[in-house]
Amino acid sequence: MRNRRAMMAFVIGASLLATAGIAVAKNSHHNNGHNLLGEKIHKNGKHEVGKIGNNSVVAEVSNDKVVGMSAGNLPVQKVKSSKKMAGAETTQVAANGPIKLAQATDYYGYCFDTGVDLYCYWYPAPDVIVADSWAPYPY
């Protein structure tokens, strides 16, 4: 009887440890695509903005807008967020009265999943064509 209980406890404990290892979060890397692209946003064509392993990350620009991105054979997902995910630009304002900022900007990102890491390149709304459906950024 004890052997059955010990064996059952061992099996349950091992399965709990195994399932805990499955729910490992991916390492997110957020990049400011606007800054990486720089003045190249005014030149039509494909421009390299980074590397993910051996894959070159390429932004395709047409008429001052990013129309797509690719990174070798890595799958791409188009996502959007109302939260600024990359970049650290700050604005300082001096005023004598109350300040009301009515700026709600969406940011659009192209994310590449390597299986272990997630690399996202973010752009403000004026930099991309928002014709297709963009999934909300869930992470």
Asked, for residue 130, whether it belongs to a domain, the answer is yes
Domain assignment present for 36: yes
Domain-embedded: residue 15 = no
pLDDT in tens, 51-66: 999 999 999 999 999 9
Q: Which domain holds residue 130?
A: 26-136
- The predicted pLDDT at position 100 comes to 46
83 in any annotated domain: yes
Q: 75 lies in a domain?
A: yes
Task: Please give the model's pTM, rounded to 2 decimal places.
Answer: 0.70
DSSP 128: B
Q: Tell me whether residue 14 is in a domain.
A: no
Q: How many domains does the chain have?
A: 1
Does a structural domain hold residue 87? yes
85 within a domain of the structure (yes/no): yes
Burial of residue 45 (CB within 10 Å: 0-12, 13-18, 19+) is exposed
